[in-house]
Amino acid sequence: MKKRVLAMILTTALSALTLAGCGGGGSSTTGGSAAPATSGGGTAAAGGSFKIGAIGPMTGDGAAYGLAVVNGSKLAVDEINAAGGVNGFMLEHKGEDDELNNEKSMNAYNTLKDWGMQILVGPTTSGCTIAVSDLAHEDSMFLLTPSGTAVDCVKYDNAFRVCFSDPAQGTESAKYMAEKGIGSKYAVIYDSSDPYSSGIYESFNAEAAAQGLEIVSAEAFTSDSNKDFSVQLQKAKEGGADLVFLPIYYNQASLILKQAADMDYHPVFFGCDGMDGILTVENFDTSLTEGLILMTPFSADATDDLTVNFVKKYQEQFGEVPNQFAADAYDGVYAIKAAIEKKNLTPDMSTEKICKGLMEAFPEITISGLTSSSLSWDASGEPNKEPRIFAIEGGKYIVQ
């Protein structure tokens, strides 16, 4: 009897699941994309509009980054539509959550594919981008990640990125330090459990050796022990380091600044693009950031028209000051617009054709955006732009 009840419950549950699965298929307008890849991916979306998907963590730990990417790309799409679209075609936008998890990111990608996505702006983080790029490569879907920094993110020819790669950030940082002669002894505190942080450290370490920078201590922490940095700071202090390189995210950096000040240790701190956002940390004395140097592509304090306009609109719509993730995504959408115009692509083309067109167009375009005044791409997927270095003075980013 018990078994029979169990079987009954199971059958009901399974049929419910099946219905749910089919329901999703029914609502999607593109029957072709639901079928296995052989059918040629998403065919034309109704109404002659390009469907652009965005993926990022919108809940949980990395929510700030994912929301910024989804919001930033949405803002660009809305602007472009208001100005008459791309060659007269409208853009459609949809964001999906990946919870900072490769597996869920693949699910998010497939959800967007069912929706009829033709171009992907995302995912937001490196691990997810690598996982999704496998799928995007199989499907010939054009992938432009705003902020996936790991080397492997753009290993396929259909994947491009807006940000600098991890090695580029580490190398540029070491070069800048050597060039400007900031500091004489260097310490590094990095997150060994984070691919972004350890990736930057790896290349920084190599370039520092080439430039003859003396690294007196390089201490790691992990995501499970990212609250107390007194040991790492003590080592840096004992080694006599006058510059501490922090290739980590701003929330941990804010704790490091606080704890360094508490132990009366005042070196120059130097961060990469993950440091962007440190002025927004709650309950944090931002005067501690005075003199902090960071390499980031975007400053919301910049006074050029494009940035002012972007920051104003973003604040109106989402109630926050945008960060570099939003700016990268915003530039990404405009780059796609430029590439579509260059090759006169139309939404009724197959996903493969659009992908091929964009792949050919990307190395040929140059755009002026928020993150660089002249942004262009290699065929390998890496962007060409000058690194931007800021120092924080009086709670504002000042260009160096």
Q: Which residues bind other proteins (CB under 8 A)?
A: 3, 5-7, 9-11, 13-14, 17-18, 20-22, 24-25, 28, 31, 33-36, 39, 58-60, 96-97, 99-103, 106-108, 110-111, 113-114, 125-127, 130-131, 134, 150, 152, 191-195, 197-199, 201-202, 205, 218, 220, 222-224
Under a CB-based contact definition with an 8 Å cutoff, are residues 235 and 215 in contact?
Answer: no
The minimum distance between CB 348 and other proteins, in angstroms, equals 21
For other proteins, which is the closer residue by CB, 12 or 87? 12
For other proteins, which is the closer residue by CB, 151 or 306? 151
**CA 238 from chain center: how many Å?**
36
For other proteins, which is the closer residue by CB, 99 or 331? 99
Under a CB-based contact definition with an 8 Å cutoff, are residues 330 and 310 in contact?
Answer: yes
The minimum distance between CB 184 and other proteins, in angstroms, equals 21
Q: How far apart are CA 58 and CA 68, in angstroms?
A: 9
For other proteins, which is the closer residue by CB, 110 or 286? 110
CA distances from 51 to 43, 60, 76, 90, 350 (A): 11, 27, 13, 9, 12
From the list 296, 275, 121, the residue with the least C-alpha distance to 189 is 275
Q: How far apart are CA 279 and CA 395, in angstroms?
A: 7
Other beta carbons within 10 Å of 89? 18
The minimum distance between CB 128 and other proteins, in angstroms, equals 9
Cis peptide bond upstream of 322, omega within 30:
no
For other proteins, which is the closer residue by CB, 72 or 369? 72
For other proteins, which is the closer residue by CB, 231 or 398? 231
Identify any residues that bridge with 187 across adjacent strands, giving them in sequence order: 217, 244
The minimum distance between CB 200 and other proteins, in angstroms, equals 11
Q: How far apart are CA 133 and CA 219, in angstroms?
A: 32
For other proteins, which is the closer residue by CB, 116 or 322? 116
The minimum distance between CB 180 and other proteins, in angstroms, equals 24
For other proteins, which is the closer residue by CB, 18 or 184? 18
Under a CB-based contact definition with an 8 Å cutoff, are residues 158 and 137 in contact?
Answer: yes
Say which amino acid occupies 131: A
The minimum distance between CB 116 and other proteins, in angstroms, equals 11
For other proteins, which is the closer residue by CB, 118 or 299? 118
Under a CB-based contact definition with an 8 Å cutoff, are residues 351 and 140 in contact?
Answer: yes
The minimum distance between CB 114 and other proteins, in angstroms, equals 4
State residue 367 phi and psi, 5-degree precision.
-120, 160
Other beta carbons within 10 Å of 19? 11
The minimum distance between CB 24 and other proteins, in angstroms, equals 4
For other proteins, which is the closer residue by CB, 201 or 284? 201
The minimum distance between CB 134 and other proteins, in angstroms, equals 6
The minimum distance between CB 296 and other proteins, in angstroms, equals 22
Indicate the pairing of strand 375-377 with strand 383-384. Answer: antiparallel
